[in-house]
A = this chain, B = another copy of it.
Amino acid sequence: MISAANAGHLPAYGSDPWTARATAELSSLFGSRGGIYFVFNGTAANIFGLSLLVRPFEAVICAESSHLNVDECGAAERVLGSKLLQVPAPDGKLTPGLVASRLGGRGDAHRAQPRAVAIAQVTELGTCYTIRELRDLAEFCRASELRLFLDGARLANAAAHLGCQLADLAAHADVLSFGGTKNGALGAEAVIVMNEELGTEAPFQRKQQMQLASKMRYLAAQFVALLEDDLWRRSASHANAMAVRLAGQVGGLPGVEIRHPVDANAVFAVVAADHISALQRDWDFDVWDSAGNVVRWMTAFDTTEAEVDAFAAAVRAVTAAG
């Protein structure tokens, strides 16, 4: 673009002040030495992040219930060419024992070689790893020559729940993501590379994976906004509080059985199928299982107490009726 260098036009592909500022702030908050890379959505954050950790013949150990495994239309298999070694994980969390169960066949050329472990914090089932659990898992990974990727689409909710810094979570990962989209942004995720060496391929991997924004300032600006005055933490804390409020109101009702610890902004519950249908007439939420009686109720940065109370009242009415 011909334009005087100091005028209103900004350079493309990340060489602009918004990207510089968001990058600097995130690097400092997370303690990253390998670079900050903005991408467009959560699936891309997972795949691009993992592409820095594995080669095609190397496998990624993940929970059967993980977004990576279930909800990305096979992006991992196509873009990475790698196998996902799945583990059934109660409450969505991996443990050293569960990871160890998928380490067979190392050194055997017939087997995809386990090389990375992918976890989500918050998990897909609305639970949080404690700092202790994270540390144990990270230590096990290091001792087992496994790299640790952390899907942080809801990392803000985890930090809010645990009352910790983002760096306290990041310290245990090799690469992680920090989600903007689920925390009020228009659509932006940051991939954070903790280790300098792992970052060398990142600019090229991002571009080849079709995640380089020419006007990157619009992604970066979303993070500048989220970081200002810790908006990210306030938004996440609020969403978490609304989920707790909801669980408190519906948890004791006959016909409603809460499923997992409510550590963040999701309430999973077992409810009779006809009650679910009745509720879905007026309310929008997901049925989680194929059997059709586990629901996922999400709260967000802008869910109000009145909304929670109205919804809880609706649950009460429907389940009382029948």
Interface residues of A (CB under 8 A from B): 1-5, 7, 9, 11, 13, 40-44, 47, 55-59, 70-84, 86, 104, 109-113, 181, 186-187, 201, 203-215, 218-219, 246, 282-285, 290, 297-300, 303, 307-308, 310-311
CB closest chain-B residue, reference A3: B284
- Give A283 to B80 CA distance when docked, in angstroms: 40
Contact of A307 with B77 in the complex, beta carbons under 8 Å = no
- Chain B positions within 8 Å of A290 at CB level: 104
- Chain B positions within 8 Å of A282 at CB level: 4-5
CB closest chain-B residue, reference A312: B2
Question: 10 tightest CB-CB pairs across the interface, nearest first?
Answer: A78-B81, A74-B112, A57-B204, A74-B83, A44-B210, A73-B207, A109-B203, A109-B207, A73-B208, A77-B77
Nearest CB of chain B from residue A109's CB, rounded to whole Å: 4
Contact of A186 with B215 in the complex, beta carbons under 8 Å = yes
Contact of A113 with B214 in the complex, beta carbons under 8 Å = no
- Chain B positions within 8 Å of A203 at CB level: 109
- Give A5 to B77 CA distance when docked, in angstroms: 36
Given pairs A9-B284, A109-B212, 17 additional interface contacts (CB within 8 A): A2-B299, A2-B307, A3-B303, A13-B109, A44-B210, A55-B55, A56-B208, A57-B205, A70-B111, A71-B110, A73-B110, A73-B207, A73-B208, A78-B209, A113-B204, A181-B215, A187-B213
- Give A180 to B125 CA distance when docked, in angstroms: 37
Q: List 21 A-B contacts (CB under 8 A).
A: A1-B285, A1-B300, A2-B283, A2-B297, A4-B310, A5-B284, A9-B284, A41-B213, A55-B201, A56-B78, A57-B73, A72-B110, A73-B112, A73-B208, A76-B83, A78-B82, A79-B208, A79-B210, A110-B212, A186-B218, A210-B210
